[in-house]
Amino acid sequence: MNRYRAVAEYYDPEHERMEMLRHDVPFFLDSLPKRKRLSILELCSGTGRATIPMAQAGHRVVGVERDPAMLAIAVRKRDAVGLKERELKLLRGDVLTMNLRQKFDRVCIFFNTMLAFTTIEQQDRFLANVRRHLKPRGLFWLDIFHPDHSLLAERESRKMETSSFYVPALDRTVVRHVDVLRDMSRQWMRVTFHYKWFDRRGLERRESAAVEMTAIFPRELQLLLERTGFRIDRLCGNYNASPLRSESPRMIASCRLA
């Protein structure tokens, strides 16, 4: 899981045109009570894509991220927009083991990141740690993909999500594609990102990085949450607040302590 160390500078330009990422954080912000300042903890906060707009909306935000290169970009962006550390605290930590000794009104995790916990043991540890950081009347918000059964039936998918993007920090245009290898007996996938660009001498350069992921099915999500002491308050299938249906692309759950 070292992907983000190698290519942290790619992360923002790589994803900035991704349609779902235009909607996920605004949808979360819209769900919050108006004119009330909340304490919000974002788990696996990456380059600050979500934490910065939350803090700009007036909430007291803490982001926890394991990868120092991703965290450094988030700090750079926070400072550039003039947010203070008391408005947005960015901490290095592993969300499976950290203990901030603080409870929050909202704990959230975006962009499929809960699927990085690929075993039941990791999922239990993750959810137990969410519990530890949630106020008794707080809400836990998670946003993962709704499994597409035809895609999951393929052992391997190649050359998916081809795109190109410019990386200002490296003055480099990168072409990307994604390969996915699956073992559904373990609900396990390896997603490999392949990057290609030309250096200053015109030579083609390549690098790749992989993440492991799982898929979680709707009833399984409910059971995982219930066994760790949560109940689902609302389950949406997309960012227009539609309920989960068979064709829905997302599972966005807002959960309370049971």
Ligand X SMILES: C[S@@+](CC[C@H](N)C(=O)[O-])C[C@H]1O[C@@H](n2cnc3c(N)ncnc32)[C@H](O)[C@@H]1O
The binding site for ligand X (CB under 6 A) comprises 4, 44-46, 49-50, 64-67, 70, 94-96, 110-111, 113, 116
SS3 154: coil
SS3 8: helix
The CB density around residue 216, as the number of other CB atoms within 10 Å, is 23
Pick the closer one to ligand X by CB: 57 or 222: 57
Pick the closer one to ligand X by CB: 27 or 110: 110
Spell out where 153-258 has E strands.
156-167, 172-183, 188-198, 204-214, 230-236, 250-257
Q: In angstroms, what is the minimal distance from the CB of 155 to ligand X?
A: 24
Chain residue whose CB lies nearest ligand X: 46
Pick the closer one to ligand X by CB: 44 or 90: 44
Pick the closer one to ligand X by CB: 70 or 225: 70
Rounded to whole angstroms, how far apart are CA atoms 147 and 77? 33
What's 84's DSSP letter?
-
Pick the closer one to ligand X by CB: 110 or 230: 110
> Residue 244 corresponds to which tokens in the numbers above?
């989960």
> Residue 53 corresponds to which tokens in the numbers above?
């707009």
> Residue 26 corresponds to which tokens in the numbers above?
């605004």
Kind of pairing, strands 60-65 and 88-92? parallel
> Residue 168 corresponds to which tokens in the numbers above?
């200002």
Q: In angstroms, what is the minimal distance from the CB of 149 to ligand X?
A: 23
> Residue 18 corresponds to which tokens in the numbers above?
């991704």
Q: In angstroms, what is the minimal distance from the CB of 153 to ligand X?
A: 24
Q: In angstroms, what is the minimal distance from the CB of 197 to ligand X?
A: 21
Closest alpha carbon to 104 in 46, 51, 155: 51
Q: In angstroms, what is the minimal distance from the CB of 189 to ligand X?
A: 14
Q: In angstroms, what is the minimal distance from the CB of 3 to ligand X?
A: 8
Rounded to whole angstroms, how far apart are CA atoms 197 and 206? 7
Place of tokens 């996915």: 180
Pick the closer one to ligand X by CB: 209 or 222: 209
Pick the closer one to ligand X by CB: 178 or 222: 178
Q: In angstroms, what is the minimal distance from the CB of 130 to ligand X?
A: 12
